[in-house]
Chains A and B, each alone.
Chain A
């Protein structure tokens, strides 16, 4: 860190740093800003669903379609994957490579289970004739929940990629940074899902 140069020059004192003071780890802040912009995407989709969510076009309503026990299991999968990712991060701090990989693997399995249940739900809905083209409600539902599912899909791809990286190169500085970014991404998706199950599923069934 360079400081003021008052002692070196003996001229007029300067009250600023000659180099910019920037955090060493600005990646985290940058990634946080990305997550916030992602948050805006979801906000727009939530708003769309808020506006269109009651327009059934004489078609099925949420109470006819949604199986809340399936949604509850789905939520549990995502919550469990969140805590197991937390355990992976704790093992990473202990520098335990094998344990980190195991917890990351468990996280991936829970994430995949979430995705499988969601795809099953989508398949079931479309099979019943309640596809995204049926009504404005279903269009906005599939867009919002599908976008979240797409994020989880990319999260899993990222997770597997990092598992290979950690396996190959160990818990290097770069891999730690990547794991911390994915940690934020993964927990962020959980936060979005809280909005989805509260606003879309529970309030939808409530009518």
Chain B
């Protein structure tokens, strides 16, 4: 490999970067799509809970959290203009890293604390009365 293609690659990478930067601002259409989607995705979970639509509480909870995740992705794409090319892919890399840490922190806390709760010494009625 000679030095010449390396030079070309560098120039190309630079061009790709500035192109990604230009695309990172969003358009009126993009903002409107994001806005309409987020209104729909906000209205559905509120309707599900306030209207008592589904009998199963567990199913409602799963739906609410699922729609929440979809809405977060919508905001990331249409409002925060996340895409695999912005800043040469480093924003996405940082996001993935953060999501892993967040997942460990939240899932791990819930898991550990749940087990602590179930492994607690059972409390009798008399013991409860003497509690501070």
Contact = CB atoms under 8 A, between A and B. Distances in A.
Interface residues of B, number: 56
Interface stretch (A113-121, A150-158, A161-169, A188-196): A188-196
A180 to B, nearest CB: 8
B80 interface: yes
Q: Which of B1, B48, B94 has the most CB of A within 10 A?
A: B94
A198 B75 contact: no
Interface stretch (A27-35, A104-112, A126-134): A27-35
B26 interface: yes
A90 B110 contact: no
Interface in B2-23: 2-3, 6-7, 10-11, 13-14, 17-18, 21
B99 to A, nearest CB: 9
Contacts of B25: 89, 93
Interface in A1-37: 1, 3-4, 6-7, 13-15, 17, 21, 23-26, 28-29, 32-33, 36
A198 B45 contact: yes
B26 A50 contact: no
A48 B105 CA distance: 10
Contacts of A4: 3, 6-7
B49 to A, nearest CB: 5
A24 B21 CA distance: 10
A44 interface: yes
Contacts of A44: 105
Contacts of B18: 24
Given A3-B10, A79-B35, A188-B80, A32 B68 contact: no
A23 B102 CA distance: 28
Contacts of A187: 75, 79-80
A13 B110 CA distance: 57
A143 interface: no
Nearest to B32: A83
Contact of B10 (A17, A26, A72): A17
B80 A184 contact: yes
B3 to A, nearest CB: 4
A36 B94 contact: yes
Given A32-B87, A90-B26, 5 more contacts: A36-B95, A86-B34, A87-B28, A194-B42, A202-B48
List 10 A-B pairs, minimum CB-CB distance, nearest first.
A198-B68, A47-B109, A4-B3, A86-B31, A6-B3, A43-B102, A187-B79, A3-B7, A36-B98, A51-B113
